[in-house]
Amino acid sequence: MKRIVHAVATLAFIALPVVTCGCAGAGAVTSQQAKAAMTRLHFMAGSWTCVIRGGQSEGLVDNPTYRFVAGGTWMEEYSDMGKPDSPYSSVQMWGYDGGSKSLVAYQFMGAGVATKNVDGWQNGIFVSHRDDNGATVSIQRKGPRAFDWVITPKGGGLTVREVCTR
C-alpha cells in the first residue's frame, strides 16, 4: 500500500507541470495538448492596436492582425507597423510541429526567419524563447480587450513591452 501511495504521489508531481502550463513544456507535446494550448490564444483573433514601450522602438504603434487556421492549431500574425517596407514588418506562425512533437513559432521578416521554441502556458502566461538570441517572448492577457507581448533578453537587460488593446 505504501508503494502505491508513493507511486501516485510521484505521478502527480510529474504531471503537475503538464497541467499548469497547458502543454508538456519544451519537451514532447501531444497534438491534443498543443490544440488546448493554442485554443487559449483564440482571444487574440482579429485586429489590435499595440504601442511599444522600451528599447529603440519606444512609442512605435503596431496594428497586428491574428487569425487561426488548420482547425485552430496554428495562429498567423501579420504585422507591418503601418508601413509595408518597415524593418519591423513580419508574418509569424505559431503552432504544433507534429514531426518534433513540439509547439513552435516562425517569424518571417525581410532580414530572414527567426524561430522560437514554445513552452506554452505557464502561470497564465504563454512563454516562448527565440532560438537566435535566447530572448524570452511571452503573451500576457490583461483582460478581454487587452494583452501584452513581453520580450526579455537572455540574461536580463531592458525588457520591451508591446501593450495591445482594441
Strand order of the β-sheet with 90-97 is 46-47, 65-69, 74-79, 90-97, 102-109, 112-122, 125-130, 136-143, 146-152, 160-165, 49-53, 61-62
pTM tops 0.85, yes or no: no
Q: Mention the CATH class of domain 2-165.
A: mainly beta
What are the tens digits of pLDDT across the range 28-87?
889 999 999 999 999 999 999 999 999 888 888 999 999 999 999 999 999 877 666 666
Mean pLDDT for all residues in the chain: 83
Q: Which residue has the higher pLDDT, 143 or 81?
A: 143
